[in-house]
Amino acid sequence: MDFRRRGLSLLLVGALGLALSSCSDGAGDASSESPTGSARASSTPPPDAVRTEDLPATTAPTENLVPSDLASIVDDYNAKAKRRLDHLRGADVSWPQCPEGVGIPEKRGQGQPMPLETAQFVIIGLTNSPSFTRNPCLADQVAWVRDRKLLAAAYAIVSYPDAATLEKLSDEGPYDGSTRLGALKNVGYQSALFNLVTMSDAGLESPIVWLDVEPVPLFEWSNDKQANAAVVEGAVRGYGDRGVRVGFYSLPSMWSRIVGDLAFDAPEWRPAGITSESAARARCGAEWSFQGGDAVFGQWVQDSRDVNVTCPGVRLQPDRWFHKF
Opening angle at CA 88, ends 82 and 89, nearest 5: 130
Reference 296, options 281, 279, 275; nearest CA is 281
In angstroms, how far is CA 130 from the centroid of its own chain?
11
Instruction: Count other C-beta atoms under 10 Å from residue 16's C-beta.
Output: 9
Domains in the chain: ranges and CATH: 4-28+42-324 (3.20.20.80)
Write down the pLDDT at residue 277.
95
Amino acid letter, 247 = G
H or E segment at 18? strand 18-19
Write down the pLDDT at residue 301.
96
Write down the pLDDT at residue 318.
73
Write down the pLDDT at residue 55.
85
Q: How far apart are CA 88 and CA 315, in angstroms?
A: 11
Q: How far apart are CA 197 and CA 169, in angstroms?
A: 17
Are 199 and 126 a contacting pair, CB within 8 Å? Answer: yes
Write down the pLDDT at residue 315.
67
In angstroms, how far is CA 98 from the centroid of its own chain?
17
Please provide the DSSP assignment of 156-189 as one string.
EE--PPPHHHHHHHTTSSSS-TTSHHHHHHHHHH
The DSSP output letter for 53 is G
Write down the pLDDT at residue 325.
86
Write down the pLDDT at residue 58.
61
Reference 227, options 262, 275, 199; nearest CA is 262
Write down the pLDDT at residue 77.
45
Instruction: Count other C-beta atoms under 10 Å from residue 74's C-beta.
Output: 16
pLDDT values of the chain reduced to their tens digit, one per residue, 325 residues: 644 443 333 333 333 333 344 454 533 333 333 334 544 556 678 999 998 778 887 654 434 333 444 455 445 544 444 344 557 999 999 999 999 999 999 999 999 999 999 999 999 999 999 999 999 999 999 999 999 999 999 999 999 999 999 999 999 999 999 999 999 999 999 999 999 999 999 999 999 999 999 999 999 999 999 999 999 999 999 999 999 999 999 999 999 999 999 999 999 999 999 999 999 999 999 999 999 999 999 999 999 999 999 998 776 677 889 999 8
Write down the pLDDT at residue 319.
82
Write down the pLDDT at residue 232.
98
Write down the pLDDT at residue 76.
52
Q: How far apart are CA 85 and CA 93, in angstroms?
A: 22
Write down the pLDDT at residue 249.
98
Q: How far apart are CA 105 and CA 196, in angstroms?
A: 24
